């Protein structure tokens, strides 16, 4: 008899749990409030490339100030007869066309990049199409024919402030093969220190 009373008491308690006074939310409604996790976008690698220089080095610095700011080993070229133009390359550069700093008259005036490892100010890089460069830089891009390669172009982007220029070189198919940042007239020296 005691057993029957216990069963009736449990049944009454359970019946009260489903009463209209205390509605129970369906499990699906509770779970739908949790938003699914969205994977984070991959971070863009940091670049030292700037319109006014590279890292802590600014255009116009003299050799000594540049060397102090760089604080690493640099290999310098010997200027041609009658020229004050010198290229300096970091020790880690394997191929001379991959990366170089240009100095003229003892001052930092330009840097050249020929590898996709470096990202230009604004996001451009070696391997991009001319269309991708135009989508990044918009109407600031001025297209000019390449001096030596038929069908190739120079895509010139003036800095929003100052007088420096970012200049992309493309091949005949429209792919960026190299880029440089510098101040006029040195940014336009096609042969570099030549």
Distance in angstroms (rounded) separating the CA atoms of residues 145 and 173: 13
Going by pLDDT thresholds of 50, 70 and 90, the confidence category of residue 171 is very high
Mean pLDDT of 92-107: 93
User: Among residues 156, 162, 160, which one has the least CA distance to residue 187?
Assistant: 156
Go through the domains of the chain in sequence order and give each one's CATH number: 49-188 (2.60.460)
Place of tokens 């991009």: 128
Mean pLDDT of 138-145: 96
Contacts of 146 (CB under 8 A, 6+ apart): 152, 153, 154, 169, 170
The predicted pLDDT at position 10 comes to 44
Question: With 50 as the cut, is the pLDDT of residue 14 above it?
Answer: no
Mean pLDDT of 42-47: 60
Give me 120's structure tokens.
């230009």
Question: With 60 as the cut, is the pLDDT of residue 23 above it?
Answer: no
């Amino acid at each position: 008899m005691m057993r029957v009373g216990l069963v009736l008491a449990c049944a009454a308690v359970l019946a009260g749990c489903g009463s209209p006074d205390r509605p129970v939310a369906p499990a699906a409604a509770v779970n739908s409030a949790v938003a699914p996790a969205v994977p984070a976008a991959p971070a863009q690698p940091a670049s030292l490339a700037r319109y006014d220089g590279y890292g802590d080095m600014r255009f116009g610095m003299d050799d000594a100030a540049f060397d102090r700011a760089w604080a690493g080993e640099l290999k310098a070229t010997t200027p041609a007869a009658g020229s004050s133009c010198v290229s300096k390359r970091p020790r880690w550069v394997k191929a001379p066309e991959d990366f170089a700093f240009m100095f003229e008259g003892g001052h930092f005036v330009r840097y050249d990049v020929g590898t996709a490892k470096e990202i230009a100010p604004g996001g451009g890089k070696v391997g991009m199409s001319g269309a991708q460069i135009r989508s990044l830089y918009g109407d600031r891009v001025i297209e000019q024919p390449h001096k030596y390669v038929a069908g190739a172009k120079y895509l010139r982007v003036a800095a929003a402030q100052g007088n420096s220029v970012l200049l992309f070189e493309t091949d005949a198919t429209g792919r960026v093969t190299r880029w440089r940042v510098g101040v006029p007239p040195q940014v336009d020296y096609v042969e570099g220190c030549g």
